[in-house]
Amino acid sequence: MTEAQSIAPNPYAIRNLRDRTRFWWEQPNSENQIANVDDQATREAALALRDDGIAVLEGFVSSALCDDINRDFMEFCSQNKTESDHWRLPTGFHPRLTNFHTYSAAAREALMSGQLTAVLDALFGEKTALCSSLYFEQSTEQPIHRDSPFFCSNPYGRFFGVWIALEDIRPQAGPLNYRPGGHKLDIDQVELALQNPDLDVGQLYGKYLQEIKQRCDDEGLPVSTVLPKKGDVAIWHPELPHGGGKILDGGGSRKSIVYHVMPETAPIYGIDIFFGRREVADSGLPLVDCSFGRKMLDQGSPAFAPNL
């Protein structure tokens, strides 16, 4: 038995996380509050996130800034040639590059410099901080999943995925797929862990994904696709089931960057906390200064990682 398996699930470990505090725009009878929002982009994003679990903001990042981010990635690869060559895929592209924002000033600017963070602040109802980033040259082809096990916030469910298209995304390049409305399906991960005490967190995550798919199928939720143009931004709900589409023959690149963001007041934990295998005994990773008066988690330097 592994160390993880020997630790009995603690049903009280994340009681303060389990009861997710709904965003203001998810509250019952929130229509009037949404309608009274002055900013049109925020108002439309709140409605889309509430109903579908995802909002697309068209043309929110300039084409020139997208080019700067892509240029910074190529510069990073040139400056780290040994590592870059090691991670190069048969397609000629690379897998995900984590924490790219710590290298690229353009990547920080795209998220933090103006109207995008203003929308995020309004959706959170408080100031936005950056948890992590991922730069992609091509689709991950990752199956439908939720991010919440790996970004387990306190209070629970207080983060967004923010995806910027750095080029026009073509259908054959493996675009972002999602199950609209799937963010509304409550799945008790603590109860799942209690029912399967012999499974480690990796195995529990597999069962959790199976449960998500089954629930989406039972509810008849379709698989929808996002095909953004260069500079468009997609924001998704923390519980939205989503993934990367399959790359078809000649699919080519799908250059994009994803940020995971949270309120400054909501610490982020990992999958062991999500499944109640460890008590919340600390305040999470410390926040440090980033750019434009914003904070970020200190997650270390950029590093390539496998596409899951």
Distance CA 158, CA 239 (A): 10
pLDDT of residue 17: 54
- Please, are residues 203 and 155 in contact by the beta-carbon 8 Å criterion? no
pLDDT of residue 102: 96
Q: Tokens 């509430």 belong to which residue?
A: 50
pLDDT above 50 for 294: yes
Lowest mean pLDDT among 11-15, 53-57, 194-198, 232-236: 11-15
Q: Where are the beta strands (DSSP E) in 140-294?
A: 152-153, 160-165, 176-178, 224-226, 233-236, 242-244, 256-263, 268-269, 287-289
pLDDT of residue 141: 93
pLDDT of residue 19: 55
Lowest mean pLDDT among 3-7, 128-132, 240-244, 298-302: 3-7
pLDDT of residue 279: 78
Distance CA 119, CA 101 (A): 20
Average pLDDT over residues 207-218: 97
Local confidence band at 50 (pLDDT 50, 70, 90 cut-offs): very high
Distance CA 61, CA 255 (A): 14
pTM above 0.85, yes or no: yes
Q: What is the mean pLDDT of the chain?
A: 91
* Alpha helices (runs of H) in the chain, residue ranges in sequence order: 3-6, 15-18, 31-35, 40-51, 63-79, 81-87, 105-112, 115-124, 189-195, 201-218, 271-274
Q: Which two tokens stand for residue 20?
A: 């997710």
pLDDT of residue 5: 42
Q: How far is CA 135 from the centre of its chain?
A: 12
201 bridge partner residues: none
Residue with more model confidence, 118 or 191:
118
Which is nearest to 141 in space by CA: 67, 91, 68, 203?
Answer: 91
Q: Is 278 helix (H, G, I), strand (E, B) or coil?
A: coil
259 bridge partner residues: 133, 162
- Please, are residues 150 and 130 in contact by the beta-carbon 8 Å criterion? no
Which is nearest to 135 in space by CA: 70, 88, 77, 89?
Answer: 70
Q: Report the C-alpha dihedral over residues 56, 60, 62, 67, rounded to 10 degrees.
A: -40
Residue 1: C-alpha distances to residues 198, 199, 271, 280 (Å): 9, 10, 19, 24
Burial of 35 from C-beta contacts in 10 A (0-12 / 13-18 / 19+)? exposed
Q: Which two tokens stand for residue 43?
A: 């108002």
Lowest mean pLDDT among 44-58, 146-160, 218-232: 146-160
Q: Tokens 């995304």 belong to which residue?
A: 169
pLDDT of residue 181: 97
